[in-house]
Amino acid sequence: MSKLVTFAGSGSLAWHLAPALDNTGYSVREVFSRNPASAKKLVGRLYEAEVKTSLDFSASDSRIFILAVADEAIEDVAREIILPEDSILVHTSGSQSLDRLGYAASSSTGVFYPLQVFSKNRKIDFDEVPILIETESKEVEHELIKMGRAISRQVQAVDANSRKAIHVASVFATNFTNHLLGISKEIMSNNNLDFNWLKPIIAESLNKSLTLGPEQSQGGPARLGNFETLDMHMEFLKEDEQLARLYRTLSQHIVDKYL
């Protein structure tokens, strides 16, 4: 099979994924973006790629076309893109269904989902990033797994429900955790305290959770059934009803689970 790849999208995921593929024998030949300047910057990180100014790839030599675009843009781009015969079209979203590619001019579609948070200014070791594959075609699955294994040691075919569960779990583990860290930073700042003081306990807590497991690592007044401390904290938060409600909900969930 041809190892020529084309990207539609030049955001943070493409910024890392395209060079990763380009360095493992999968040659990225074209990059399209609604922002040509962004596409040009990504092309500058690749060996032989060129900027495409339209979604007409009918004359392209590529076999695999990767939609690394925002979730809300997947369906529109899939409708607009013009593909060569026998091409494979995939999106990279963790939350969007395979059906979002249903109107594309290709019967060979799939999901190629790297389970990671991407930022252009942070280096990513793709070797450690799980690649989750979903498709209705065994042939496409074989090709996508092969491409995934070129950059990662963890490649797995999953069904739609499993991918949804993974995405929901990752939101709890990352987005919600980050939001709670933001709240703790605000509490420190509002009381003229240095958030850096919390960094060692945050790091130790996360490392312990990843090493021993969340259940074995859960601590705090709710886990210990220290209701006097919980009441004291609620009193401290009484001026912020929304935050107090969040504290109560999380604490109650811990109590219900462990006590």
Report whether 233 contacts 241 (CB < 8 A): no
163-258: CATH topology is: N-(1-d-carboxylethyl)-l-norvaline Dehydrogenase; domain 2 (1.10.1040)
Query: Which residues of the chain carry a pLDDT beneath 70?
Result: 1
Question: HSE (CB half, 13 Å, CA atoms) of 28?
Answer: 30
How many angstroms separate the CA atoms of 110 and 26, rounded? 18
Q: What is the pLDDT of residues 28-50, one digit of tens each?
A: 999 999 999 999 999 999 999 99
Stretch (H or E) spanning 32: strand 27-32
Q: What percent of the chain is helix, strand and coil (3-state, nearest 5)? A: 50, 15, 35
CATH number at 4-158: 3.40.50.720
Burial 69-103 (b: 16+ CB within 10 A, else e): beeeebbebbeebebbeebbbbbbbbebebebbee
Q: What is the pLDDT of residues 46-66, one digit of tens each?
A: 999 999 999 999 999 999 999
Contacts 24+ apart (CB under 8 A), 176-185: 183/243, 183/246
Report pLDDT for 1. Answer: 57
Distances in Å between the alpha carbon of 89 and those of 75, 101, 108, 133, 154?
12, 8, 6, 13, 21
Domain ranges for the chain, please list them: 4-158, 163-258
User: What is the number of residues in the chain?
Assistant: 259
Which of 79, 72, 76, 90 shows the shortest CA–CA distance to 7?
90
Distances in Å between the alpha carbon of 188 and those of 61, 191, 199, 214, 219?
56, 5, 12, 25, 20
Question: HSE (CB half, 13 Å, CA atoms) of 101?
Answer: 28
How many angstroms separate the CA atoms of 225 and 211, rounded? 24
Query: Token pair for residue 106?
Result: 């290709």
Report pLDDT for 2. Answer: 75
